[in-house]
Amino acid sequence: MAAVIAAGRIGYADAWALQKDLVERRAAGEIADTVIVCEHDPVYTVGRRRDAMANVLVPGDVPVVEVERGGDVTWHGPGQLVVYPILQLEGAGRDLHAHMHRLEDLMIAVCAGVGVDAGRDARNTGVWHGGKKLGSIGIACRRWVTYHGLALNVDPDMSYFERINPCGFEAGIMTSLARVLGRPVAMAEVEAAVVERVAGW
Instruction: Residue 181: count other Cβ atoms within 10 Å of its Cβ.
Output: 13
Instruction: Residue 50: count other Cβ atoms within 10 Å of its Cβ.
Output: 7
Known catalytic residue: 167?
yes
User: Longest C-alpha distance within the chain, in Å?
Assistant: 46
Which are the contacts of 104, defined by CB distance < 8 A and separation ≥ 6? 120, 125, 126, 127, 135, 137
By the 8 A CB rule, do 120 and 162 touch? no
Residue 17: φ, ψ to 5°: -65, -40
Going from the C-alpha of 132 to that of each of 24, 64, 114, 124, 169, the distances in angstroms are: 36, 24, 17, 11, 10
Q: Which of 38, 111, 141, 167 is catalytic?
A: 167
Q: How far apart are CA 44 and CA 106, in angstroms?
A: 23
Query: What residues are annotated to the active site?
Result: 167
